[in-house]
Amino acid sequence: MSDVPVRTGGALPAQSRRDIGFAIGVIAIIAVLFVPVPPFLIDIGLALSIAISVLILMVALWIQKPLDFSAFPTVLLLATILRLALGVATTRLILAKGADGVNSAGHIIHGFSQLVMSGDFVIGIVVFMILVTVNFLVITKGATRIAEVGARFTLDAIPGKQMAIDADLNAGLITDKEAQTRRSELEEESAFFGSMDG
């Protein structure tokens, strides 16, 4: 008999459900780019995006080592795609229905505009220019450079770590099982920092 498991029916395995949910989520995000979205869905999407951003920040601050959050590059990519789709949908809604009233593009957008502008158009423009400059020059460029340099140093150190594992194994300081565990951790680290670098 073959060792291939045969499905006899029932629910999908957890991994399959996760993959299907992931695919549906990506399709929904892409659909937002092309389908007009009502204001209440924009509000839900923006609230979800803010919540995801805070959650990512909290997880990134509380982990002990980078491999504890090895899904970070994928999560960051999906969050960015979600934010871009919401930006396109929001812009479409503002341009199409902006003349209908202050809440025509959703309550979150109206509330944020009141917070930033403080009732004065000039203040809004100045604050917007400062936010764009700080975001682009400081946060985006700085974070990208830090991630690339950190990933490059880590990737350059991997051959030395591999030789250290082999030397410890040959000297009898670690067992074969410990060496395999360290090698698998090193492989995960290499994949993680490789995705951060590229």
DSSP H helices, 1-106, are 14-34, 39-62, 72-97
Same domain, yes or no: 142 and 97: no
Single-letter residue type at 2: S
Q: Answer whether residue 144 shows pLDDT above 50.
A: yes
185, pLDDT greater than 90: no
| Domain membership of residue 176 as a residue range | 118-198
Residue 4: inside a domain, yes or no? no
Q: Does residue 7 lie within any of the structural domains? A: no
How many other C-beta atoms can be found within 10 angstroms of the C-beta atom of residue 162?
A: 15
What is the Cα Rg of the chain in Å? 24
pLDDT tens digits along 5-33: 555 555 667 667 777 877 887 888 888 88
Q: In this predicted structure, what is the pLDDT of residue 44?
A: 92
**Is residue 165 a contact partner of residue 179, using CB atoms and an 8 Å limit?**
yes
Is there a domain that residue 5 lies in?
no
Specify whether 139 is located in the same domain as 107.
no
> 133 with 76, same domain?
no
**pLDDT: which is higher, 137 or 146:** 137
In angstroms, the CA 130 to CA 150 distance is: 28
Residue 197 vs residues 11, 57, 144, 158: alpha-carbon distances, Å: 39, 20, 9, 14
32 and 100: one domain?
A: yes
Highest mean pLDDT out of 17-21, 57-61, 100-104:
57-61
182, containing H or E segment: helix 176-197
Is the per-residue pLDDT at 106 higher than 60?
yes
The answer as to whether 1 is a domain residue is: no
1: pLDDT confidence band, cut at 50, 70 and 90? very low
Which of these three, 117, 139, 172, is where a domain ends? 117
Residue 76 shares a structural domain with residue 24: yes
| Domain contains 60 | yes
Tell whether 101 and 162 lie within a shared domain: no
22 plus 82 within the same structural domain: yes
Same domain, 54 and 132: no
Q: Are 104 and 93 in contact (CB under 8 A)?
A: yes
Residue ending a domain, among 84, 117, 150, is 117
Domains of the chain: total: 2
pTM over 0.85, yes/no: no
- Rounded Cα distance, 116 and 1, in Å: 69
Is 111 found in the same domain as 122?
A: no
Last residue of a domain, one of 68, 86, 117: 117
